[in-house]
Amino acid sequence: MQNITEISEDLFYLGGNDRRIALFESAFPVPRGVSYNSYLLKDEKTVLFDTVDLAVSELFFENLAYALGGRTLDYVVIHHMEPDHSASFSRLIERYPEAKIVVNAKTAKMLENYFGFTGERIFLVKEGDALSVGKHTVSFLFAPMVHWPEVMMSYIPEKKLLFSADAFGTFGALGGSIFADGVDFDREFLDDARRYYFNIVGKYGVQVQNVLKKAAALEIGMICPLHGPIWRKDLKYLLAKYDTWSRYEPETQGTVVFYASVYGHTQNAAEIVARRLGEKGVPVKIYDVSVTHVSELLSEAFRYSHLVLCSTTYNNGIFVSMDDFLHDLTAHNFQKRKYALVENGSWSPQAGGHMQAAISAWSGMEEVAEKVTLLSSVNEATREKLLALADAIALDFEQN
Ligand code: FEO
């Protein structure tokens, strides 16, 4: 049965939730599920903004038919071709053969590649074009690499409304309210929104900054993303988060300790450091990188100002889970953080050098404490060095 919501006069939410999905994009655990958002504007012309993932397509098509109320679908705007939003496209164009497909040139090429779809139903738009559909105008602004190269957003000035594609979205299915102001966003969504941001578009901070500049030139009263709740209040809060994240600035002053330990000795070292930091009043979190999903590790690394990496040596290199984590940080353009290193090894400790080599490729990194090397386990001498490492980090907080 249809389950639509009129979110603004003549504008309807048609999306749905998948709470059974294990891995979003086959990569990211989403224990709280995910929503796929789609919207319909009913003016003199009817305009659908994006479709949905196959997981919720039955509900979507029922919602669309109900919302149209027997009217023709005139336009379909595709902001983003990734299949979590376009997988229902083939069924859509069969059901609504009159609809023009509003896309940019890159999206048109992807429509051909994914679906073999070409021809006169394609309605090409360029950056800055505007489409009048009656009382409303839909204007288009491009947002390349947020999150794919073809991504565009659209803006309805009469409603001060931005369809933002993946930007400003989040993991997590929607609850009773589909609006951010209808939930405790910090408690229910912020961690997922941060993890979504850094894993999906964290690599493209410059491109996100470009979009924020375009958005700053618009009067925006509502943001409708493709995942997660709709924003109609406190937009400055959301825009400020995106500004901080996309400039790669830490969101929280504090230290996060990441350790990779086989038999517990490196863990012991990590916990000595974390305990000391806690005693010194430094906000600190600690993660075993072998048991925490790398998408969460990545998000936490970007969140905090300081990190401590502790790894045992493995195959003359870095322990595998730490190695994976560092690769992921590199892939997401990690930068501008303060750090310290702890390495362990029973006969030839080498993890520290390899971790340093990875970090050296990141820009704006600053080592704030002398590396500590353990031989198998912590002894009195190395315990003192670990405490000194923590004290150096604490001093950095005092001085900055
Ligand atoms: Fe929600 Fe990049 O797709």
Residue by residue, pLDDT tens for the chain (400 residues) are 999 999 999 999 999 999 999 999 999 999 999 999 999 999 999 999 999 999 999 999 999 999 999 999 999 999 999 999 999 999 999 999 999 999 999 999 999 999 999 999 999 999 999 999 999 999 999 999 998 999 999 999 999 999 999 999 999 999 889 999 999 999 999 999 999 999 999 999 999 999 999 999 999 999 999 999 999 999 999 999 999 999 999 999 999 999 999 999 999 999 999 999 999 999 999 999 999 999 999 999 999 999 999 999 999 999 999 999 999 999 999 999 999 999 999 999 999 999 999 999 999 999 999 999 999 999 999 999 999 999 999 999 999 8
The answer on 65 and 167 residing in a single domain is yes
295 and 180 within one domain: no
Is the distance from the beta carbon of residue 226 to the nearest atom of ligand 1 less than 6 Å?
yes
Q: Are residues 191 and 144 in the same domain?
A: yes
Q: For position 382, what pLDDT does the model report?
A: 98
Alpha carbon distance 356, 336 (integer Å): 15
Judge if the beta carbon of residue 84 lies within 6 A of ligand 1.
yes
pLDDT at position 378 is: 98
pLDDT score of 247: 97
Decide if 34 contacts 70 (C-beta within 8 A).
Answer: no
pLDDT of residue 270: 98
pLDDT of residue 230: 98
For residue 138, report the distance from its CA to the centre of ligand 1, in Å: 21
Atom of ligand 1 nearest to the CA of 151: 2
Quick one: 150 and 288 in the same domain? Answer: no
Of the candidates 227, 246, 265, which is a domain's last residue? Answer: 246
Residue 243: which residues within 8 A CB-CB, separation 6 or more?
Answer: 209, 212
Ligand 1 centre to CA of 329 (Å) is 20
Question: What pLDDT sits at residue 52?
Answer: 97
Nearest atom (ligand 1) to Cα of 36: 1
Residues 272 and 236 in one domain: no
Distance between Cα 15 and ligand 1 center (Å)? 14
Cβ–Cβ < 8 Å for 79, 50: yes
Give the Å distance between the CA of 82 and the centre of ligand 1. Answer: 5
Same domain, 108 and 256: no
Q: Which atom of ligand 1 is nearest to the CA of 148?
A: 2
Instruction: Look up residue 241 and give its two tokens.
Output: 């988060």
Instruction: Give the C-alpha separation, 68 to 75, whole Å.
Output: 12
**CATH at 392:** 3.40.50.360
Q: Is 80 in the pocket of ligand 1 (CB under 6 A)?
A: yes
Looking at 216, 246, 276, which one is the last position of a domain? 246
Residues 240, 278 share a domain: no
Q: How many CB atoms lie within 10 A of CB 36?
A: 26
**Residue 154: predicted pLDDT:** 98
State whether residue 142 is helix, strand or coil: strand
pLDDT at residue number 386: 98
Beta bridge partners of 224: 163
For residue 141, what are the contacts with CB-CB under 8 A and spacing of at least 6? 127, 128, 152, 153, 154, 155, 211, 214
Q: Please tell me the distance from the alpha carbon of residue 262 to that of residue 271, in angstroms, as a whole number.
A: 15
Pair (232, 328) in one structural domain = no
Q: How far is the CA of 311 from the centre of ligand 1 (A)?
A: 34
Same domain, 238 and 256: no
Q: Is 166 in the pocket of ligand 1 (CB under 6 A)?
A: yes
Give helix 351-360 / helix 320-331 axis angle, nearest 10°. 10
The whole domain housing 392 covers: 252-399
What's the confidence (pLDDT) of residue 355? Answer: 98
Span from the CA of 83 to the centroid of ligand 1 (angstroms): 8
pLDDT the model gives residue 12: 98
Report the separation in Å between the CA atom of 161 and the middle of ligand 1, taken as the mean of its atom positions. Answer: 20
Residue 81: the pLDDT is 97
CA angle 151, 154, 43 (to 5 degrees): 135
Same domain, 173 and 198: yes
CA distance 57 to 71: 20
Is 85 a pocket residue for ligand 1 (Cβ < 6 Å)?
A: yes
Unique residue bearing structure tokens 């997660």: 228
Q: Find the distance separating the first CA and the last CA of the chain, reported in whole Å.
A: 57
Of 318, 159, 180, whose CA–CA distance to 239 is shortest? 180
Do 54 and 174 fall within a single domain?
yes
| pLDDT value for 131 | 98
Report the separation in Å between the CA atom of 242 and the middle of ligand 1, taken as the mean of its atom positions. 17
Cβ density class 57-94: b for 16+ within 10 Å, e for less: bebbbbbbebbbeeeebbbbbbbbbbebbbbbbeebbe
Number of domains in the chain: 2
- Report the SS3 class of residue 372: strand
> Which residue has its alpha carbon closest to ligand 1 atom 3?
82
Q: Is the CB of 82 under 6 A from ligand 1?
A: yes
Q: How far is the CA of 356 from the centre of ligand 1 (A)?
A: 33
Residue 134's Cβ-side half-sphere holds a number of Cα atoms within 13 Å equal to 11
> Whose alpha carbon is nearest atom 1 of ligand 1?
166
- Of 246, 266, 296, the residue at which a domain comes to its end is 246
Q: Do 203 and 103 belong to one domain?
A: yes
Determine whether the shortest distance from the Cβ of 306 to ligand 1 is under 6 A.
no
